[in-house]
């Protein structure tokens, strides 16, 4: 099946809260990912509670450990969608591998931006993606979603075993993109083989990231593209959210970096020209 274009994907996201882009990774990207990420996932720590999954290897700070995750984090098909849903300068809030072992039970239904204390219904503060490294099947723990639940209010809660939850079936190399407000969970792995997924998640540029990406990735950030560095936090949300000692944070890993090249200086200059107000008084 041909993946929907960005406009179609946005329409589906608006209606259902999620959209699947099938087979968007090349065979080479998938091979590189499997070669590097699977051993890390298999060695990774088991979850510390039923939510993380006691039969799930869960590896955080993935960009510190596997450079082959980068093409997923900055995949143009995904970022074209996120660009239209979040404000410019949005950030990478989480980036993890989730490797469900046979026997894993269903996760609790939840939504990913639930820790921002803004009442629902509301726009998403974050957009999540889950990439299938293995095929997602009905039996191996495919992510389950409740279509339309991104619009639910505060009082609308799913049952623990809600019949509206449906598995996202997709072949390896596909990705499901969904609103941070969509109720979902990892499914039960009743198969005889593990199910590996990667989950980069993005948040508004004014929201605190779940994972402290600057500390998590550290000096390895310099190995990545400018786009990934900006997503990690080597960026500012103009006029000055994210400054370090009064200068653009990218200057700390690249002395030649000129914020004016990225347009970041322009917004800041306008702010000061207006006398330090976000809008004219
Ligand atoms: O593993 C999955 O399919 C979903 C996991 C998830 O939603 C989470 O851990 O927040």
Which structural domain range is residue 279 located in?
238-281
**Which stretches of 133-211 are assigned E, i.e. beta strand?**
144-145, 166-167, 175-179, 184-185, 195-203
Q: Tell whether 244 and 204 lie within a shared domain.
A: no
Handedness of CA 38, 99, 194, 147 (dihedral sign): negative
Query: Can you give the pLDDT at residue 281?
Result: 41
Same domain, 188 and 96: yes
Is 265 found in the same domain as 150? no
Distance from C-alpha of 66 to C-alpha of 60, rounded to nearest angstrom = 11
Q: What are phi and psi of 14, to 5 degrees?
A: -65, -40
Number of domains in the chain: 2
What average pLDDT does this structure show over 133-141?
97
Same domain, 260 and 176: no
Token pair belonging to 126: 């974050």
Is the pLDDT assigned to residue 271 strictly greater than 70? Answer: no
For residue 82, the CA-to-ligand 1 centroid distance in Å is 19
| Contact call for residues 150 and 63 (beta carbons, < 8 A) | no
* Together in a domain, 64 and 159: yes
pLDDT at 64 over 60: yes
Q: Are residues 96 and 137 in the same domain?
A: yes
Task: Measure 264 CA to ligand 1 centroid, in angstroms.
Answer: 34
Asked if the structure places residue 162 within a domain, the reply is yes
Residues 272 and 197 grouped into a single domain: no
The secondary structure of 7-31 as a DSSP string is HHHHHHHHHHSEEEETT-S-HHHHH
Q: Measure 110 CA to ligand 1 centroid, in angstroms.
A: 9
- Atom of ligand 1 minimally distant from the CA of 187: 3
- Tokens for 193, please give them: 């083989």
Whether residues 133 and 34 fall in one domain: yes
User: How many other C-beta atoms can be found within 10 angstroms of the C-beta atom of residue 173?
Assistant: 19
pLDDT digit string, tens, across residues 10-29: 999 999 999 999 999 999 99
204 and 253 co-located in one domain:
no
Provide the edge-to-edge strand list for the sheet that holds 91-100: 18-21, 175-179, 126-132, 195-203, 91-100, 56-59
Which ligand 1 atom is at minimum distance from the Cα of 184?
Answer: 7
Atom of ligand 1 nearest to the CA of 53: 9
Identify whether 49 is part of a domain.
yes
- List the residue whose alpha carbon is closest to atom 4 of ligand 1: 186
Residue 1 maps to a domain:
no
Is residue 86 within 8 Å of residue 129, measured between CB atoms? no
Residue 219 belongs to some domain of the structure:
no
Please tell me the predicted confidence (pLDDT) of residue 278: 61
Distance (angstroms) between ligand 1 centre and the Cα of 42 equals 17
Peptide bond before residue 121 is cis, with ω within 30 degrees of 0: yes
Q: Whose CA is nearest to atom 9 of ligand 1?
A: 52
Domain of residue 111, CATH code: 2.60.120.620
165 falls within a domain: yes
Q: Which of 56, 177, 186, 194 is the pocket-test mutation for ligand 1 (most atoms within 8 Å of CB)?
A: 186
> Which of 177, 196, 213 marks a domain boundary?
213
Which ligand 1 atom lies nearest to the CA of residue 96?
9
- Report pTM: 0.93
- What is the CA(179)–ligand 1 centre distance, in A? 13
Residues 16 and 154 in one domain: yes
Based on the domain organization, do 183 and 78 belong to the same domain?
yes
Atom of ligand 1 nearest to the CA of 52: 9
Question: Are 247 and 173 in a shared domain?
Answer: no
Residue-level pLDDT at 262: 63
pLDDT at 140 over 60: yes
CA distance 232 to 62: 12
Query: Which is the closest atom of ligand 1 to the Cα of 136?
Result: 3
- The burial of 38, by beta-carbon neighbours within 10 Å (0-12 exposed, 13-18 middle, 19 or more buried), is given as middle
For ligand 1, atom 1: residue with the closest CA: 186
Band of pLDDT at residue 108, cut at 50, 70 and 90: very high
Binding-site residues, ligand 1, Cβ < 6 A: 98, 107, 112, 130, 143, 184-186, 197
User: Has residue 233 been placed in a domain?
Assistant: no
Residue among 145, 184, 194 to mutate when testing ligand 1 (max atoms within 8 A of CB): 184
Quote the ligand 1 centre to 46 CA distance (angstroms). Answer: 14
């Amino acid at each position: 099946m041909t993946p929907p274009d960005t406009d179609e994907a946005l329409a589906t996201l608006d209606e259902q809260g999620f959209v699947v882009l099938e087979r968007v990774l090349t065979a080479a990207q998938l091979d590189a990912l499997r070669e590097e990420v699977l051993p890390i996932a298999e060695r990774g720590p088991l979850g510390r509670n039923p939510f993380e999954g006691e039969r799930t290897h869960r590896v955080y700070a993935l960009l510190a450990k596997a450079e082959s995750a980068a093409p997923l984090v900055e995949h143009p098909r995904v970022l074209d969608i996120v660009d239209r849903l979040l404000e410019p300068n949005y950030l990478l809030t989480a980036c993890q591998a989730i490797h469900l072992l046979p026997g894993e039970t269903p996760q609790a239904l939840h939504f990913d931006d639930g820790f921002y204390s803004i009442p629902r219904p509301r726009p998403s503060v974050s957009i999540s993606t889950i990439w299938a490294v293995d095929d997602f099947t009905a039996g191996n723990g495919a992510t389950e979603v409740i279509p339309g639940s991104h619009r639910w209010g505060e009082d609308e809660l799913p049952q623990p075993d809600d019949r509206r939850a449906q598995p996202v079936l997709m072949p390896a190399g596909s990705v499901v993109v969904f609103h941070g407000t969509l109720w979902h969970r990892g499914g039960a792995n009743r198969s005889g083989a593990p199910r590996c997924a990667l989950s980069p998640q993005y948040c508004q540029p004014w929201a605190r990231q779940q994972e402290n990406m600057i500390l998590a990735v550290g000096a390895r950030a310099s190995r990545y593209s400018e786009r990934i560095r900006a997503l990690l936090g080597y960026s500012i949300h103009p006029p000055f959210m994210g400054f370090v000692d009064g200068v653009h944070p990218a200057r700390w890993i690249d002395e030649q970096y000129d914020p004016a090249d990225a347009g970041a200086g322009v917004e800041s200059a306008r702010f000061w020209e207006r006398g330090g107000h976000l809008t004219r008084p």
